[in-house]
Every structure is written in C-alpha cells, then in structure tokens.
Amino acid sequence: MHLLFKLNMNDANATTENRSLWTTVQVRHSALERNKRCILAYLYNRMKKIKTLRWEFGAVLPPDIRELLSDDEYQWFSKYSGNLALYMRSLGQDIGYSGIDLTENLKPPKSLFIEVLCVVDYGKLELEDGDVVMLKKNSRHYLPTSECQTLIRQGILKQIM
C-alpha cells in the first residue's frame, strides 16, 4: 500500500501542473481505499469469532486455539474478557450480589437433574449441598444441572440423552 501511496503522491504533485495524470491518482486512491476496507473487514470478522470463543470457553483459551491468535489479538481478547467481567460484576451490585455469570444458562433448563458420563479422570467434585462425588473415567452420575454446566463446557462430562 505504501508503494501505491508514494506513486500517488508523486503524481498528485505533478498534476498541479499537468491535468492528464488526474485519473491515475483517482484510480490509485480508490484502490487504496478498497484495500483498507478489505483489511478492516477481515480484522473485524476475526474479532467477532474471538468473541464467540470467549463465550464458549470462558476467559482461559485452550493452547491450540491460543497459538492461532496473534499477540495483538490476544491482548484484545484479554481486554474484552476484563471488560465483560467488570460488567458482570456490576450487575446486581446495588443489592449485594457478587455479580451474575452471564456465560452460564445458555439454554433453557429442561430438568433439574441430568445424567452425565465422565470422559476423563477428574477426581472429587463437591456439590452445593455437601455431597462429594468421585469422577472417574466412564463413570455415570445423576447430578443437578447447574453443577454440570461448567464441567460439560470444559469437556469433562458428557451428557447422556
């Protein structure tokens, strides 16, 4: 783009004396503008995809995705994550709530308990009411939905239809 620009500048200066080079200047300028728009559109779409990643994976990205992002994009991602966390914390602050996690509850709840199959060895899981469940590979459990949501998204549990 710089090359095009330099050529354009030279011609622009030259046209003050000679009108015939006007069209080249215009054509090059529109080419420059088009390039700029294309680049910005590409970047914007990447941003959108990274945003969906944040909602799917949470604030920590798995390493194989992490290496696909450039450094700038990773910086943007961490800033976006921070912004989102700040907003979520500010929800309900007036009544003393510690904030709602908006990334949960992505689908309307169908039942209170769901049956899950453990895919990897996770170890002990403590439920809200104090029961401790041992999560070993290929073990089936009947657990409350709210507990399972995060684990399902991380890939540790798998829902059995």
Partner 1 sequence: MESTEELQFSDDEEEVTAETVLKTLQSAWQNERLSPEILPHQNDMVECMLGQIQHMERNINKLSKTDLRTSIHKMEISRIKFIICNYLKTRLNKIEKYCIPILNQERQRIETDTNYLTPSEYKYAQEYVLNMENHMKNVVLNKMPGNMQVFEMNKMAEHPNLQTHVFLKANETINGVVLEDLTGEDEEIDLEEGSQHILQYKPIADLLKNGKVTLL
Asked whether position 108 contacts partner 1 by CB under 8 A, the answer is: yes
Asked whether position 90 contacts partner 1 by CB under 8 A, the answer is: yes
- For the CB of residue 72, give the shortest distance to partner 1 in the complex, in Å: 5
In Å, how far are 33, 73, 82 from 67, measured between CA atoms?
31, 11, 20
- Over its C-alpha atoms, the chain yields an Rg (Å, rounded) of 27
Asked whether position 36 contacts partner 1 by CB under 8 A, the answer is: yes
Asked whether position 132 contacts partner 1 by CB under 8 A, the answer is: no
- CB of 100 within 8 A of CB of 91? yes
Q: Which stretch binds partner 1 (CB under 8 A): 59-67, 83-91, 133-141, 153-161?
A: 83-91
> Between 90 and 137, whose beta carbon lies closer to partner 1?
90
Alpha carbons 101 and 123: distance in angstroms, whole number: 25
- Interacting residue with partner 1 among 11, 21, 76, 153 (CB under 8 A): 76
Asked whether position 7 contacts partner 1 by CB under 8 A, the answer is: no
Alpha helices by DSSP H, listed for the chain, are 2-15, 22-57, 63-66, 71-90, 145-154
Asked whether position 47 contacts partner 1 by CB under 8 A, the answer is: yes
